Amino acid sequence: MKWWTGAIVMSLAGGPGAAPVPGPEYEVFAIQYARLEGFPASALILGADPARKLDLSMMVWLIRGEGRVILVDAGFYRQQFLDAWKVADFSKPSDAVARFGVKPEQVTDIVITHLHWDHADGADLFPNARVWIQREEYEHYRNPANLAQSGVFPDDIAMFERIEREGRLRLVPGDSQTIARGVTVFTGGRHTRESQYVSAWTARGLAVIASDNVYLYENIARHRPIAATWDTVSNLAAQDRMVRMAGGDRLVVPGHDPAVFTRFRGTARGVARIE
């Protein structure tokens, strides 16, 4: 199959671009649970015109197969965030996932790509899930001194400490870590202290869920770093690596681009199957 050839080429090339070893095929979906209206493009794409405004899709991603139901990010639901932002078409992320046909208690794993409120806050809506976070990300933001202006909130840190006490937290020790057969997480995007992104094999090849390490398709198309990054050079290198791994940009899924739902068909409104 085509992706197999690509994988061999990639591993011959070696280095940080090496593709994950082909694994079992999963179904991968994007599920929208809200929208944010009128967001300035300059907050998303470095150097973009601040007068240009965009609507953002707020989504979680679901990877299903091999007896696992893996959510990538968990969205938000606490009132403080609903009060603070102009949120449209909101559903609690667990309700959006339930509408899709997956009960919250059936989610076996959650990969938290980073601890920003809109990706991490919903983690306790899924009571049985193991929760995977980069160790360095967790340890950094557990220090209250690092929370100011960070987009990470004390209530969410307290929630993850509860999940840790329940024995459900899994701290990931860095780059290229496999969390299920054929599902791998990567660091280097530097959206936050140690943000991660996720790859999974599908029938059409390797899908890469970039989350906010790539905000929009435009970041990749114009080769522009995300506006919010600790390191623009690392961020671009991570974007390049994602495209190399996926054998092109088609199956690289950005964190907030509503075009995900027009590029891919879904089973319902606000659902896209990544294939």
Q: Which residues of the chain form contacts with Zn ion (CB under 5 A)?
A: 116, 212
Residues 6+ apart with CB under 8 A from 60: 30, 31, 33, 71, 72, 73, 74, 75, 93, 96, 97, 122
**Is the CB of 101 or the CB of 230 nearer to Zn ion?**
230
CA dihedral 115, 120, 124, 127 (to 10 degrees): -100
Asked if 6 contacts 250 with a C-beta cutoff of 8 angstroms, the reply is no
Of 212, 211, 207, 220, nearest in space to 252 by CA = 207
**Is the CB of 197 or the CB of 264 nearer to Zn ion?**
197
Q: Return the axis-axis angle of helices 135-142 and 154-165, rounded to nearest 10°.
A: 120
Residue that is written with structure tokens 């061999």 in the block: 8
**Is the CB of 184 or the CB of 211 nearer to Zn ion?**
211
Asked if 172 contacts 196 with a C-beta cutoff of 8 angstroms, the reply is yes
Q: What is the enclosing helix (H) or strand (E) of 48?
A: none
DSSP label at residue 226: B
Query: How far is C-alpha 74 from the chain's CA centre?
Result: 9
Shortest gap between Cβ of 95 and Zn ion (angstroms)? 22
Shortest gap between Cβ of 114 and Zn ion (angstroms)? 6
Of 73, 77, 68, nearest in space to 30 by CA = 73
**Is the CB of 202 or the CB of 229 nearer to Zn ion?**
229
**Is the CB of 137 or the CB of 212 nearer to Zn ion?**
212
**Is the CB of 26 or the CB of 39 nearer to Zn ion?**
39
